[in-house]
Structure 1
C-alpha cells in the first residue's frame, strides 16, 4: 500500500512539532491533559483522526480469488500443452480430412487437471484465510491509558485515539506514535522500524533542532516498537496509517 505524500508530510510535521515544543503546548494543541480525555473528546478525536488500525487494503473479491487460483505457472504450462494437443489431435486431423484420427482425450485430461488443481488451490486458500482471520479475532492487544472517567484502564489497542495518555512498562508494545511526558530508565527496541540492533534510550526532554530525522528525536515513541526496560507516560500524537509504522 503506497503512502500519500501529503499524509507523510503532515505526519513528519506533527512529529517535529511535538518533539520541539513543551509538553504544556502539546497537550493544549491536542486538546488533552494529564488526566486524560473526556468521553466527548474521545468521540471527537476518533471522528477527526480515525481509528488506531493499520489498513492494508481491501479484501480480494471472489472473482479475483478464483482468478488467482487458476492463473499460475503450473496451469499456464498445462494450458500450453492443451493448445498444442488441440492442434495436433483435433485441428490437424480435421484439416487433413481424417476424422478417425481426432482424439480429444489428451485435451480433456489436461483441462480436467487444470480444473482440479485450481479448485483445490482456491479451497485451500479460502480455508487458510478464514482460519487466519478467526485466529486474529481471538488475539486482543491492550494498552494502559488514563481517561477522565477511568484512570489507568486497559483498553484494546484499536481504541486508542490521539490525545490519550498512555502508560508503558517493560515488555509493552508501543500502541501508537507518542510524545514522552515522563520517563524513567526507558529503553526502546526500534529494530523493526530502523534496523538498530541496540535498544535506544528515550527521554522526556524538548529538542531545539527542527531539521533532524524523525527517528532521531528520542522524546518520540513509534508504533510497533517495544519497551525493553523502564517505564514512561506519553501522549498519543498519531494513530493508524498516520504513524511511521503505518
Structure 2
C-alpha cells in the first residue's frame, strides 16, 4: 500500500467513506465512470492483489523440508547421528532409509495434491463487471480490482471488495458471513452531499450505502465504488485476527506423545545402562555402542513409514472418489468426526431452477399462468 494512501484505519469506516460519494471520488481520484485500464494496472502494482492471503503453492524444496519436519523424524535422525559417531553403519542405514521413505511418501502426496488443487483453482475464474471511462464495461478477475474501480452488481454476485453504493435498484445483500444474520439487508444509494452529522461512531455494517467483501447480492442491481481491497477490507481485518497457524490435531498430539514417551524412556534408561556397562566392564566404547543399541531397540523405526503409508493409501482411495487430499493427517481428522454440519450448495444440487408444471387454480396446466410467471420473473427487481 503506498504511503500517500489516506485510508489506513482497519477497525472503522473512514469519514469520507461514511459521508458522501463526491468526497470519496475526490479522495480516490475516480469518478462515476471509474478509472482507466492503465491507471488500474498502475494501482494494482501499488496496492497488490485483491486477496485476503497468499494462496500460492510453496516451492517444492520447502515442501520437501516440511515433509521431514516431525518430532519422530528428529528422534530417528538423532539416533542415526549417534550411530554414525559410534561407527554402527547398519543402524545408520536402516534409520536413514526409514526416514527417507516416510518423508518421501509425505512429500509426494503433498506435492501431487497441491498440483491437483492448483489445476482445479485455475479452472474457476471469479470475475467482476468493471465500468471504464467511455461507457465501456469489462469482466476482470476479482483479484485485479483496485480502489477507484466502479463495479456493477447484480443478483447472484459476490461483493468483491469494500464498496460504496453509487446506485441501487431494490438492492438486497446477504451479510451473514460478517454479521451472522441470515436476513438480507437493503442497500441504498450513498448521499451525494456531506452529511450534517458524522457517522464514524457507527458500526460500518450498519451503514446502508456500504457493502463489504464476503457478502453477496440476493436481488436487485446497482453500481458501487471500490474503496478498500484485499487485506485492507473489513473481512481482511477479521482474517488478521484469526491465527493462520494450523492447530494441533488429535493425530499430531498422538504422534508427539509417542515421541516424547520414547524420549523419556531413553533419557532414563540409556544413560543408566551406559554407566552400569562402562563401570562393570571397563570398556566405555562398547558401553556406548550397547547404549545406542538399546536406544534403537526402544524406537519403532517403522512407525513413520507405517503411519504415512496408511494415510497415503487413504488419500489414494479418496482420490478415486474425486477427493483431493492436501494434508494427510486430515484423513484421520475426518474419520474421527462424530457429527459433520455442512450446508448444501449448488455443487451438490443442479444450481438452477427447474420448471416442472404450471397449473391454474383448478390444478390444470395453463399457458396463461406460465406467461404471467415469466413476466413477473422478467420484471422483478427486489425480493
1:197 paired residue number: 182
Deviation of residue 63 (structure 1)? Answer: 4.4
Determine the C-alpha separation between the residues in 2 that align with 1:150 and 1:47: 25
Deviation of residue 24 (structure 1)? Answer: 2.0
Deviation of residue 225 (structure 1)? Answer: 1.6
Distance 1:40 1:105, change over 3 A: closer
Task: Give the root-mean-square deviation of aligned CA atoms.
Answer: 3.4
2:271 paired residue number: none
SS at match of 2:147: coil
1:121 paired residue number: 106
For 1:56-99, what per-residue CA distance to the aligned partner results, in whole angstroms no more than 9, with x for missing partners? 2775454432232112255457568x57x96xxx97xx9xxxxx
Deviation of residue 235 (structure 1)? Answer: 0.6
Determine the C-alpha separation between the residues in 1 that align with 2:45 and 2:91: 61
Determine the C-alpha separation between the residues in 1 that align with 2:76 and 2:39: 60
TM-score, with structure 2 as normaliser: 0.51
Asked whether the equivalents of residues 11 and 234 of structure 2 are also in contact (C-alpha less than 8 Å), the reply is: no
Q: Which has the higher strand share?
A: 1
SS at match of 2:221: strand
1:222 paired residue number: 212
Determine the C-alpha separation between the residues in 2 that align with 1:157 and 1:132: 19
Distance 1:13 1:19, change over 3 A: farther
Higher relative contact order, chain-length normalized (CA < 8 Å, sep 6+): 1
1:242 partnered with 2:232: yes
Map residues 25-36 of structure 1 onto 2, 5 A cutoff: 25-36=23-34
Map residues 16-165 of structure 1 onto 2, 5 A cutoff: 16-56=14-54, 60-75=58-73, 108-149=93-134, 151-165=136-150
Determine the C-alpha separation between the residues in 2 that align with 1:58 and 1:141: 17
Deviation of residue 166 (structure 1)? Answer: 0.8
Please tell me whether Structure 1 or Structure 2 has the larger radius of gyration of its CA atoms.
Answer: 2
Aligned length: 227
Asked whether the equivalents of residues 188 and 225 of structure 1 are also in contact (C-alpha less than 8 Å), the reply is: yes
TM-score, with structure 1 as normaliser: 0.75
Distance 1:189 1:128, change over 3 A: same
Distance 1:10 1:77, change over 3 A: same
Asked whether the equivalents of residues 10 and 233 of structure 2 are also in contact (C-alpha less than 8 Å), the reply is: no
Deviation of residue 129 (structure 1)? Answer: 1.2
Deviation of residue 124 (structure 1)? Answer: 1.0
Asked whether the equivalents of residues 70 and 118 of structure 1 are also in contact (C-alpha less than 8 Å), the reply is: yes
Question: Which consecutive unaligned segments of at least 5 residues does structure 2 have?
Answer: 237-383
For 1:198-219, what per-residue CA distance to the aligned partner results, in whole angstroms no more than 9, with x for missing partners? 3232222446422122223232
Asked whether the equivalents of residues 15 and 199 of structure 2 are also in contact (C-alpha less than 8 Å), the reply is: no
Distance 1:67 1:140, change over 3 A: same
Asked whether the equivalents of residues 146 and 152 of structure 1 are also in contact (C-alpha less than 8 Å), the reply is: yes
For 1:206-244, what per-residue CA distance to the aligned partner results, in whole angstroms no more than 9, with x for missing partners? 464221222232321112221122222111101222222
